[in-house]
Amino acid sequence: MLACILSDMDTKPTFCIVFMCCVCLVKGYITYIAIRLPLQGQRSAPGSPWPYPKEIKSETDVLSLDIANFEIRSKITGCDVIDKGIARYKAMLGFGAKDETLLTVDDLQIHVENTSCHTYPYLGMDESYTLIVDRHATLRANSIWGALRGLETFSQLLYTSATGKVIINKTRIVDEPRFPHRGIMLDTARHFIPLPVLFKNLDAMSYNKFNVFHWHIVDDQSFPYQSIRFPGLSQKGAYSPVHVYSQTDIHTVLEYARLRGIRVIIEFDTPGHTQSWGKFDRNLLTPCWHNGKKGEAKYMYHGEYEIMNPMLNSTFTFLEELFSEVTSVFPDDYIHLGMDESYHHCWASNPNVGDFLTNFLGLNASDFSGLEQYYIRRVLDILSNTKKKAIIWEDPIEKGLKADKDVLVEVWKNRQDWASNMENVIQKGYSAILSSCWYLNYISYGQDWRKYYECDPHHFEGTAQEKSRVVGGEACVWSEYVDATNLLPRLWPRASAVAERLWSPAHMNNTDDASFRLDQHRCRMVRRGIPAEPILNGFCGDYEVKNSRSTNTGSTVLDGSSVLIYLGMFLFLKFYLQ
């Protein structure tokens, strides 16, 4: 379209082309703007789902939907996951009118084999489903979690015609995820993320079939978790009394996530990243020494007090009580214990640490890695006694820790060349989660989603049996430069690229083709209230026009279509009425 405007306008025929472009844009037939180079890849059909299903067969026959009379039915009674899921998705379907010239999809019948409902989602839950769209659509799943994924897919198959009517192709889908662990990690300590934004992000996760919210809830900067046993942790460690997640808040997040089939895995990172803990009890942290003085900082090396103090039994008694509480609050089988970036400068500065290493542990006075492993093994034992399983970052394994093989290891280092890190973890017999290539807090100009789409957790040297121990991956957002103002547009739709890599078959890896489906899915998320950033030039639809109308002053901001119309009228007057 812009190519028309920018071309030679000395002749009258060129102007006609410009005006025709304007008319096309008003009707919404043209979506993509390519000034010089054509967009590569296969254009996606309207109503193309994201992430792409395992098997899909779409027919040319189309049906419409009369939202006023359309019913979603299930024989499961008293299941809030299904009941609220049906209500939620039915509300999403009413974005257009019925096409009177077409037959309609009258209902969607949900059949679930295992009707167990009053439970939380878990690692390895069955998310498979079969969806058949016809006059009487059917959704079959083995579990309520699979039913939720099928409802999401059905909602994505609907689209609007050129006349604004809701239509859907007759379709058959057989689907299941490639990996069981598909997560988003959010850091809420460096910047506090308010509940409404967390809820909106959980919505977006469900639209992309993510099933894990990895909640990095505390760090050096703040301690916003409100502890029942130790309320002083947040009273002294949070940024303010407002910047706290109360027990009521946490329960609300857990329920909001459960109803969308999303696990909440909490992370309490130790022995490093614990500066805020010391605001509650300084004895939890190791005193650092400088110039022969206790509690003195050394710039660029250590603070005054930092990294948990493994010399005191009271440290582990405190952790036993805290983790006893945490494991009762968070229902998932796993707790993330962090264990990354345990820098040893403070330990090395403290003369008492060397004595503890030699006299109590029987190690060399400078074996700080041995001290770190001593601490980690004790904390792993504490968690094991609560009957929970641990996830840790890869650092301790890299340093030679020998942990139980049920410990999940998250590979995060070497963003450009993570394969050797993964091989190291897998070859030592551990199961792994990949996050190295999916740090979405990093940004760059252009379509950087492509590099996330091209990263595959199985792209390392290993046998099929070894690769089977990769349980999935996580897109991570560290919040040094992220807060409620920019979290969602930074995550979406870039995280959607990760979602397809973790859900869809491995052969679904053509980035050019995916760009059209992702752009369509981005528009879908925008229509649902997610401020996902654009990835291609063009427009999504009426939402842009509607959002440009001011309700406060009565003035109207011109949308792109109007601008082109007025430009066409101006050129008409200039060239034809001279």
Using CA atoms, how far apart are residues 514 and 518, in angstroms rounded to an integer? Answer: 6
Q: Which of 71, 113, 341, 480 is catalytic?
A: 341
340: left (phi over 0), alpha (psi -120 to 50) or beta: beta
Q: Provide the b/e sequence for 27-65 (b: ≥16 CB within 10 Å).
A: ebeebeeeeeeeeeeeebeebbbbbbbbebebeeebbbb
List Cα–Cα distances, 107 to 63, 115, 136, 173, in angstroms.
12, 21, 5, 17
List Cα–Cα distances, 206 to 85, 89, 211, 337, 468, in angstroms.
11, 11, 7, 25, 25
Q: Tell me, what amino acid is at 553? A: T
Coil/strand/helix, residue 309 = coil
- Locate tokens 């939620």: which residue? 88
Using CA atoms, how far apart are residues 305 and 318, in angstroms rounded to an integer? Answer: 18
Contacts by residues 248-252 (CB-CB < 8 Å, ≥ 24 positions apart): 249/195, 250/225, 250/226, 250/329, 250/330, 252/195
127 counts as catalytic: no
Using CA atoms, how far apart are residues 136 and 98, in angstroms rounded to an integer? Answer: 16
Q: How many CB atoms lie within 10 A of CB 363?
A: 18
Q: What is the DSSP letter of 245?
A: B
Cβ contact 403:397 at 8 Å:
yes
- Locate tokens 């046998």: which residue? 463
Counting Cα atoms < 13 Å in the Cβ hemisphere of 474 gives 28
Using CA atoms, how far apart are residues 17 and 1, in angstroms rounded to an integer? Answer: 9
Which residues, 6+ apart, have CB-to-CB distance to 517 below 8 Å?
A: 44, 48, 50, 52
Output phi, psi for 399, to 5 deg.
-90, 5
The H or E element that residue 94 is part of is none
Q: Tell me, what amino acid is at 453? A: Y
Residues tagged active-site: 341
